[in-house]
Chains A and B, each alone.
Chain A
Amino acid sequence: MGTLRKNGSYFDNLDDLDRQIIAIFKANGRASNQKIAQRLGLSAAAVGARVRRLENDRLLKVVLVTDFSVEGCELLLSLGINALNRDPRIVAREIAELPQIFSCSLMSGRYNIEALVALADVDSLKDFIERDLASIDGIGDVRVEIVVDMLKYEFDVVPFTR
């Protein structure tokens, strides 16, 4: 394993075998330790130990990703929000707690806060805007963009602090 440099990027913490294991999991998250071991010429126990280390160091997480359609969300919105007379970090946290909010970030740029919203259908829009979003103090202006078509949405990296 490479040394953990103080300012090292993610990949400095991995050696070649780690990278190969990660590549196998990226292609097939159901790969067994046995199968990986056969491909890399290691023992299954050695693969298991590496996988545990990578997971404990939060360098790897094998997950099941589900498609948007499984949730049955018919309407996706992108919101741009400016906080008014209130700390945008607090406003963003309160927005993030709404169950319809899929992702929420504090931003540099024209808006303080960007959020993606997944709604079951058009009928849920009124309640979301007038009841849920409006219950939060300190929301100045809101820009609502409707998602017409999603061509790609597949993030495979996660922020280190969660």
Chain B
Amino acid sequence: MSRPQIDQIDREIIGHLSKDARITNRAVAEILGVTEGTIRARLKRLMEARLIRFTALTNMSRLGAMRVLFIRIKAELRKVRQVADQIARMDEIKCAIVITGPHNILAMGPFDDFDNGGVEAVTTRIGALDGVVSWETSITLEAVKYNVLTAKILNRQPAEDEESDD
């Protein structure tokens, strides 16, 4: 991963909005002693460069524990990329990475205790992909540390001229 062009002001803007994503551009501008236009322009650039994204996190379940299914896949070497691409396109799968070791691909998908067979379905679909040799699954019993605020941002978010107002 190459280092992006980010300066100290960008980092401070990211820092404040990481604590509270709904504070206004004006509030951030006042804290940092710059103009509102500066904040707007920098956020636009950061969003267009796919370095940040404003989104909503939701809970899967009020009472049932959320679990994450880990699927490690051994694929024919020349088909690893093709298999990984297909897995990454599955909506239920939130993580698809190519790794070294006995397995070539690690995929993860969250599900809750009311899953109704979704885990089985996604595992079966992965197992049926061309090039998959074998796979191994494991399930989280407890998330001890869980970071959802860092991601691989795939889609550029359009920077609209709007912001929070409360």
Q: Is the CB of B3 within 8 A of A149?
A: no
A156 within 8 A of B: yes
Given A66-B52, A106-B140, A154-B151, decide whether A31 and B162 contact each other with a Cβ distance below 8 A. yes
Q: Is the CB of B56 within 8 A of A26?
A: yes
Cβ-defined contact, A156 with B143, below 8 A: no
Contact assessment for B56 and A157 in the assembled complex, using a CB-CB cutoff below 8 Å = no
Task: Name the residue of chain B whose CB is nearest to the CB of A63.
Answer: B21
Across the interface, A69 reaches (CB within 8 A) one of B4, B63, B87, namely: B4
User: Is B9 an interface residue when CB atoms closer than 8 A count as contact?
Assistant: no
Q: Any chain A CB within 8 A of the CB of B78?
A: no
Which label, helix, strand, loop or mixed, suits the secondary structure of the A interface? mixed
What number of A-B contacts does a CB cutoff of 8 Å give?
283
B21: min CB distance to chain A, Å: 5
Per-residue CB proximity of B130-163 to A under 8 Å, as 1/0?
0000001111111111111111111001101011
Contact A147 B98 (CB under 8 A): yes
Interface residue A101 (Cβ < 8 Å from any Cβ of B): yes
Q: How many residues of B contact A (CB 8 A)?
A: 75
Closest beta carbon of chain B to A61's beta carbon, Å: 5
Considering residues A4, A89, A148, A162, which has the most beta carbons from chain B within 10 angstroms of its beta carbon?
A148
B117 in contact (CB, < 8 A): no
Is B55 on the interface with A (CB-CB < 8 A)?
yes
Interface centre among A10, A30, A44, A103 (most CB of B within 10 A): A30
- Interface 1/0 per residue, A1-42 and B, CB below 8 Å: 000101111100100000000100111111111110000000
- How many residues of chain A have a CB within 8 Å of chain B? 80
The answer to whether B7 has its CB under 8 Å from any CB of chain A is no
Distance (whole angstroms) from the CB of A40 to the closest CB of chain B: 15
Q: Are A64 and B60 in contact (CB under 8 A)?
A: no
Q: Is the CB of A147 within 8 A of B97?
A: yes
| Shortest distance from the beta carbon of B74 to any chain A beta carbon, whole Å | 12
CB atoms of B166 and A33 under 8 A apart: yes
Whether B51 and A69, one on each chain, are in contact in the complex, defined by CB atoms closer than 8 angstroms, is yes
Contact A105 B21 (CB under 8 A): no
Which of chain B's residues have a CB closer than 8 A to the CB of A68? 1, 150-152
Q: Any chain B CB within 8 A of the CB of A122?
A: no
With A68-B152, A153-B151 known, 7 other A-B pairs at CB within 8 A are: A8-B62, A33-B166, A66-B51, A67-B50, A70-B52, A76-B97, A146-B99
Using CB atoms and an 8 Å cutoff, list the residues of chain A in contact with chain B.
4, 6-10, 13, 22, 25-35, 44, 48, 51, 58-74, 76, 78, 89, 92-93, 95-96, 101-111, 114-115, 118, 143-162
